[in-house]
């Protein structure tokens, strides 16, 4: 097949999945049904696409590599349920892309995400979580460890807290480097993301919440109070310290020790005290 002769491109972060047993397990996690709408991001040479499309679901694959695009379109030309499109998932208008095609249904997502853009893609999916029923994503194991980490460990960070506000996240299984071509230097992990109907906790203002969380992890060796000060929160009149006190949070703690609920409580107190920088 011409498809098999296409080499992975380093600039796209491509590592093609070639292990049939891993592909089968991913399909099992997606659980495609004939009445589903499924989006695959970065289908590559189409190994997973073929299995997902067999379900009869409305299937949309978005590929950025123009060399692969005509080969994918040719292979699925006779499949009435399949659409192959060109686009960059970081720039495409997801509501526009999926809204008109889904007929009001929520989408399942499958993706083997390039390591270099995985966090950016996760934030895009988070911003539009209402579009999705379920996401099954392959990520670098290190990122997967961060997303499922509990507070007070080195893996726990801003990404953990921000994604947990909108998703139930579960690690499904680990994928070893030998399952890919070319062979990467690290393990991967397949994770399932189930969007929540509402944010897990009330934060008052999500933009402010993100500032608080990112500020808390800006300089992990600093105390929470000093890290938030360094990130731009004004404490000249002691209002930031007062918000921490009202939240029942010791400003001498490190940011990585705070739970999602504590970050939410602090955000609400900052909002009430109007301590925006």
Going from N- to C-terminal start, the domains of the chain cover 2-195, 206-276
* Alpha carbon distance 209, 203 (integer Å): 6
Q: What is the pLDDT of residue 137?
A: 98
**In the CATH hierarchy, which top-level class contains the domain 206-276?**
mainly alpha
DSSP 12: G
CA nearest to 229, candidates 143, 60, 218: 218
Does 63 count as an annotated binding residue? yes
Does 255 count as an annotated binding residue? no
CA distances from 201 to 75, 154, 159, 240, 268 (A): 45, 24, 16, 21, 11
Q: E strands along the chain, which residues?
A: 16-17, 37-41, 58-63, 82-86, 107-112, 132-140, 167-175, 180-181, 188-195
Does 226 count as an annotated binding residue? no
Q: What is the pLDDT of residue 1?
A: 57
Segments of the chain with pLDDT less than 70 = 1-6, 8, 11-12, 274-277
Q: What is the pLDDT of residue 277?
A: 46
* Alpha carbon distance 81, 59 (integer Å): 6
Q: What is the pLDDT of residue 238?
A: 86
pLDDT single digits (tens) 115-141: 889 999 999 999 999 999 999 999 999
CA nearest to 26, candidates 8, 40, 36: 40
Q: E strands along 100-144, which residues?
A: 107-112, 132-140
Q: Is 204 left (phi over 0), alpha (psi -120 to 50) or beta?
A: left
Q: Are strands 37-41 and 16-17 parallel, antiparallel or unpaired?
A: unpaired
DSSP 73: H
Q: Are strands 180-181 and 16-17 parallel, antiparallel or unpaired?
A: antiparallel
Q: What is the pLDDT of residue 236?
A: 81
CATH number attached to the domain at 2-195: 3.40.50.150
CA distances from 221 to 19, 157, 165, 224, 225 (A): 41, 13, 24, 9, 12
């Amino acid at each position: 097949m011409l498809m098999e002769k296409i080499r992975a491109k380093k600039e796209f972060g491509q590592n093609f999945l070639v292990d049939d047993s891993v592909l089968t397990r991913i399909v099992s996690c997606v659980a495609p049904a004939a009445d589903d709408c499924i989006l695959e991001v970065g289908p590559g040479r189409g190994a997973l696409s073929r299995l997902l499309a067999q379900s009869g679901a409305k299937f949309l694959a978005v590929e950025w590599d123009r060399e692969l695009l005509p080969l994918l379109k040719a292979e699925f030309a006779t499949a009435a349920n399949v659409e192959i499109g060109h686009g960059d998932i970081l720039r495409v208008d997801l509501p526009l892309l999926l809204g008109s095609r889904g007929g009001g249904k929520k989408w399942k997502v499958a993706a083997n995400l390039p390591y270099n853009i995985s966090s950016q893609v996760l934030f895009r999916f988070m911003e539009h979580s209402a579009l999705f029923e379920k996401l099954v994503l392959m990520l670098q194991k290190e990122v997967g460890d961060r997303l499922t980490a509990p507070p007070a460990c080195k893996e726990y960070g801003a990404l953990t807290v921000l994604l947990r506000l909108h998703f139930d996240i579960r690690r499904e299984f680990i994928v070893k480097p030998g399952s890919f071509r070319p062979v990467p230097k690290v393990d991967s992990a397949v994770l399932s993301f189930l969007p929540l109907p509402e944010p897990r906790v009330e934060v008052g203002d999500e933009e402010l919440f993100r500032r608080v969380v990112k500020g808390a992890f800006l300089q992990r060796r600093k105390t929470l109070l000093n890290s938030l000060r360094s990130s731009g929160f004004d404490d000249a009149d002691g209002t930031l310290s007062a918000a921490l006190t009202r939240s029942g949070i010791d400003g001498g703690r490190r940011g990585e020790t705070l739970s999602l609920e504590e970050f939410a409580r602090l955000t609400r107190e900052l909002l009430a005290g109007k301590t925006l920088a």
